[in-house]
């Protein structure tokens, strides 16, 4: 642990930011999982609604530095591609 007062403050701030980043990253994974579940249930409209939220949160995470810009773009693109493929294939009931 640091001895200097400002270094102690910095350590606390860093830990707080780390926890926020972990929470944001976990939320992104949860949203992606919800989209995958919706697609598995052939609920394309639900997946599309979830995608809007996911796209926004992924872009926000990239802006906050949790994800790199290209990683965020890749994640959004892959999710969009999955939803588009589900829209093209007829639902088998």
CATH at 37: 1.20.58.110
The pTM assigned to this predicted structure is 0.83
Q: Name the domain count of the chain.
A: 1
Is 15 among the domain residues? yes
Q: List pLDDT tens digits, range 43-89.
A: 999 999 999 999 999 999 999 999 999 999 999 999 999 999 999 88
Domain that holds residue 41: 5-88
According to DSSP, residue 42 is labeled T
């Amino acid at each position: 642990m640091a001895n200097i007062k400002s270094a102690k403050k910095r350590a606390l701030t860093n830990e707080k930011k780390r926890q926020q980043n972990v929470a944001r990253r976990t939320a992104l994974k949860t949203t992606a999982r919800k989209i995958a579940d919706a697609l598995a249930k052939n609920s394309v409209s639900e997946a599309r609604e979830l995608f809007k939220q996911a796209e926004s949160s992924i872009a926000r995470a990239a802006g906050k530095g949790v994800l790199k810009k290209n990683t965020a773009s890749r994640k959004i693109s892959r999710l969009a591609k999955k939803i588009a493929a589900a829209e093209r294939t007829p639902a088998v009931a």
